[in-house]
Amino acid sequence: MSISERAQSDSSAQAHPPFFGALLRMTWQGVRDRMLDAIHQAGFSNFQEAHFAVFSYPPPDGIRPSELARQKRMSRQAINYLVSQLEELGYVERRACEGNDRRLIYLSADGRQIIETMFNCLRQLHAEWAEDIGQDRFEIFLDVLRQLSVKAQEHRS
């Protein structure tokens, strides 16, 4: 293949899917699959993929349902449905604070264990990816993600 054919092929490949959004989604789905497997292996077999909507960073601990809904960009009804499921499973609880009638969402002991399981899984995946692509490249990758996260948050505000 000549240089001009290769350049044309490269530019053609860049003009067609999957674009970076799809690549991020596919990667994220792989990460979630690993975390869900780890959670199930830790004995929490009734934790479902939909529960990640509540158990995503930052974890829900001491937060009002309406604030959690805003934070997760979901309707209050959807959050309350998931929180009710998680409460029935024993992963979260709703409690009123002293001097206030409003109930806040708190992680239970099992909920904290799920969060720790997720973090341990992510630490392991971090190490695997750093080994796969090299520590220096992985640190650059993380730095780029951090920069893009800040930019996305600024755009959201």
The closest alpha carbon to 85, from 61, 118, 49, 57, belongs to: 49
CA angle in degrees (0–180, nearest 5) for 31-75-91: 55
- This prediction has a pTM of 0.83
C-alpha to C-alpha distance for 99 and 114, rounded to whole angstroms: 30
Q: What does each of the 157 residues of the chain score in pLDDT, given as a tens digit?
A: 556 565 555 555 567 888 989 999 999 999 999 999 999 999 999 999 999 999 999 999 999 999 999 999 999 999 999 999 999 999 999 998 777 778 999 999 999 999 999 999 999 999 999 999 999 999 999 999 999 999 988 887 7
C-alpha to C-alpha distance for 138 and 143, rounded to whole angstroms: 9
CATH 6.10.140.120 for domain 25-156, yes or no, is no
- For residue 118, what are the contacts with CB-CB under 8 A and spacing of at least 6? 35, 38, 39, 55
Domain boundaries, the chain: 25-156
